[in-house]
Amino acid sequence: MMQKGELERLFSYWRRRIFLTLWVTYGCFYLCRVNMSIALPSIMKEFDYSRTDMGAVGSAFFIAYAIGQFINGQLGDKFGARKFVTFGIVASSLLNIIFGFTTTLLAMSIIWGVNGYFQAMGWSPSVKTLANWFPQRKRGRISGLYGSSFQAGSVVSWLLAGWLCVHYGWRYAFWVPAVLFLPCGLHFYFRCRNSPEEIGLPSIEQYERQKEKGTRTNSTFESNSEKDEHLGFAFTLKQTFGNPRVWCVGIAYLFLGFVSFGFLYWVPSYMFEVQKVTISNVALRAIVFPLAGSLGALVAGWLSDKLFKSRRAPIIVLMSMLAGIFVLLYSRIPGTAPLSSMFGLGAVGFATFGAHATMVTSVPMDYGTRKAASSAAGFIDALGYVGATVAGVGTGWLVDNYGWNYAFYFWASGAFIAGILMAFLWKYVPSKGRYM
């Protein structure tokens, strides 16, 4: 038997430890992901590649990432994050090192594409781990905080890659982040635990019920159905492919991917080519985008819990519509107005990633429950990267053939369509079932 106070102390400690471990680890994934955005202008200049060429390299990553999310989301529910994420870190680090030695477009596309698959081992199993540790009433705020991890990772990655490109060349923008990323795998493996049950604590459902009753809680329990056991692929597939609401969110996220991934991938090149910003200053100016995105994720998560009572769709609709408007406004800002440009970037980042973080964190946990959170996150994120694939090569093609204005129309249209689709789920709140 365990006293209630002791159990609450243990849960509080482990929740902080798990969250911080996941936050740091997933932020570090971006060291070996968005470094490409900063290296693009240097690679195109050295090899005389077109925007369409490098858009294809980006799309290779997005295609492989989408496939990886479909597969790894399901596997994440079965095997958990601890070993799965660690393997992905090691593989991605090695592939970034190899990419730094490439000299042909084909090799770049293949290596960067394979990197995309292993990068897809990070997100979905981590979302499942959060779902195992946190109840629904806290998931909006937790999702907002967790969503800031990849924004912080983007900031560090862009600053580091920009400095390396200027002082040592673009190849070092892949080698150095890879060397830094590798130790994160060891840190994650030794610090993370997949669920409370793994360390002898009650399941989240059992803990929350006992907490509500205010009674003493037994640290051992009889029902195997509430342990963190995989309920089978039939269950996880039903919770994802068989759930029309998950489909709706996934398709909306596909369209949001036009701006969240297309803008993120291409805006450094836009600033370099159109606004005539130097490579080093591109990195400094562009970090406003993910920094404001972190704030947007926090605000969206808090509002979805407090103002909308755990309804996620309303805040996604509002943020998506604002993102489309801000994208169009940003296209009218000249490069000679750096403060206006940074403010515009921040506005786009705030709105885009407010919607983005909610769709891939809170929604999978709520709609899939903790038993299929990884599968739901993988399914939704995979569809988002289908949109990213279109945005990667599509943006390059539009700019090559019609100019940058059409790229902005393309990005904004995706945000507007995402908002319209999510409006159909405006009133939906997941019912309280057997699993949280």
Q: What is the DSSP string of 333-344?
A: --TT-HHHHHHH
Q: Decide which of 369 and 406 is more confident.
A: 406
Q: Which of 376, 366, 354, 373 is CA-nearest to residue 301? A: 354
Which whole number is the average pLDDT over 15-42?
A: 95
CA 81/CA 399 separation, integer angstroms: 39
Residue 174 pLDDT: 98
Query: Taking 50 as the threshold, does the pLDDT of residue 184 lie above it?
Result: yes
DSSP, collapsed to helix, strand or coil, labels residue 217 as strand
Which whole number is the average pLDDT over 215-236?
A: 56
Which whole number is the average pLDDT over 235-244?
A: 79
The pLDDT confidence band at residue 96, using thresholds 50, 70 and 90, is very high
Q: Which of 221, 419, 248 is CA-nearest to residue 320? A: 419
Q: Which range has the top average pLDDT, 22-31, 75-84, 228-237, 305-314?
A: 22-31
On whether the CB atoms of residues 387 and 254 are closer than 8 A, the answer is yes
Q: Which range has the top average pLDDT, 39-53, 224-238, 382-396?
A: 39-53
Partnered with residue 273 across adjacent β-strands are none
CA 177/CA 94 separation, integer angstroms: 11
pLDDT > 90: percent of the chain: 49
Query: Taking 80 as the threshold, does the pLDDT of residue 19 lie above it?
Result: yes
DSSP, collapsed to helix, strand or coil, labels residue 2 as strand
The pLDDT confidence band at residue 1, using thresholds 50, 70 and 90, is low
The pLDDT confidence band at residue 230, using thresholds 50, 70 and 90, is low
Contacts of 139 (CB under 8 A, 6+ apart): 130, 131, 305, 310, 361, 362, 365, 366
On whether the CB atoms of residues 85 and 125 are closer than 8 A, the answer is yes
Residue 225 pLDDT: 43
Residue 147 pLDDT: 81
- What residue spans define the domains of the chain? 23-196+237-425
| Topology of domain 23-196+237-425, CATH | Growth Hormone; Chain: A; (1.20.1250)
CA 39/CA 279 separation, integer angstroms: 9
Query: Taking 60 as the threshold, does the pLDDT of residue 302 lie above it?
Result: yes
Residue 272 pLDDT: 86
CA 384/CA 249 separation, integer angstroms: 10
The backbone region for 214, taken as left when phi is positive above 0, alpha when psi lies in -120 to 50, beta otherwise, is left
Query: Taking 70 as the threshold, does the pLDDT of residue 407 lie above it?
Result: yes
Q: Tell me how far CA of residue 414 lies from CA of 7, 37, 221, in angstroms.
A: 46, 21, 48
From 49-53, 178-182, 328-332, the region with the lowest mean pLDDT: 49-53
Query: Taking 70 as the threshold, does the pLDDT of residue 385 lie above it?
Result: yes
From 28-37, 93-102, 218-227, 245-254, the region with the lowest mean pLDDT: 218-227
Amino acid of residue 374? S
Residue 432 pLDDT: 64
Burial of 273 (0-12, 13-18, 19+ CB in 10 A): middle
Residue 217 pLDDT: 46
Q: Decide which of 30 and 388 is more confident.
A: 30
Burial of 235 (0-12, 13-18, 19+ CB in 10 A): middle
Q: Decide which of 63 and 231 is more confident.
A: 63
The pLDDT confidence band at residue 215, using thresholds 50, 70 and 90, is low
CA 191/CA 20 separation, integer angstroms: 10
Residues 60-93, buried b or exposed e (16+ Cβ, 10 A)? Answer: bbbbbbbbbbbbbbbbbbbbbbbebbbebbebbb
Query: Taking 70 as the threshold, does the pLDDT of residue 222 lie above it?
Result: no
From 130-144, 296-310, 421-435, the region with the lowest mean pLDDT: 421-435
DSSP, collapsed to helix, strand or coil, labels residue 148 as helix
Residue 220 pLDDT: 47
Q: Decide which of 430 and 220 is more confident.
A: 430
Averaged pLDDT of the chain? 87
Half-sphere exposure of 311 (CA within 13 A, CB side): 16
